[in-house]
Amino acid sequence: MGGRTRAGDLRRPRFSVGAICGIILKAMPKVYLGLGSNLGDREGNIAEALRRLSEGVSIERVSSLYETEPVGYEEQPWFLNAVCEGETELDAEGLLRFVKGIEREMGRKETVRWGPRVIDIDILLYDDIVLE
């Protein structure tokens, strides 16, 4: 009692240090999100969406902006798009709720399928899960 511990008295840990570090250092899920806008200030809308996304996603990289023709409903302006890569503590369903909330807050309205929109945020990849 109250004496010194000798090296021979120490027990081996149940887990190796490598296993513990592997648990601690496990990265948050990697996510790739596609953003698009074809109404109003398209570039500003994407910048604002990225700002809002950063509240729940640690954004690591963002692609260059690029334009695409509308698909499905073609009588609308071209889309300006970007893809961002990041990590999040949210699970896949939580991330979906989060991005849909941003779309609503920014004024997205579901009118015509594939129709014009202020902002569209798609989860392209969540960790190793491809979402369609």
Predicted confidence (pLDDT) per residue in 39-63, tens digit: 999 999 999 999 999 999 999 999 9
Active site residue 9: no
Taking the C-alpha atoms of residue 100 and residue 93, their distance in angstroms, rounded to an integer, is 11
Q: What is the pTM of this model?
A: 0.77
Q: Does domain 28-130 have CATH number 3.30.230.70?
A: no
Catalytic residue among 11, 97, 108, 127: 108
What is the residue type of 42?
R
- Strand, coil or helix: 20: helix
pLDDT at 109: 84
Dihedral angle at the C-alpha atoms of 110, 102, 93, 34, nearest 10 degrees? 80
> Looking at 9, 42, 104, 117, which residue is catalytic?
117
Q: Which amino acid is at 123?
A: I
Across 52-75, average pLDDT: 94
Q: Does 122 participate in catalysis according to the annotation?
A: yes
Q: What is the rounded CA–CA span in Å between residue 65 and residue 78?
A: 13
Which of 4-18, 30-44, 107-121 reaches the highest mean pLDDT?
30-44
Residue tagged active-site, from 9, 11, 52, 122 = 122
What count of other Cβ atoms lies within 10 Å of the Cβ of residue 16? 10
d(Cα 114, Cα 9) in Å, to the nearest integer? 69
Decide if 120 is catalytic: yes
* Residue boundaries of the structural domains of the chain: 28-130
108 noted as active-site residue: yes
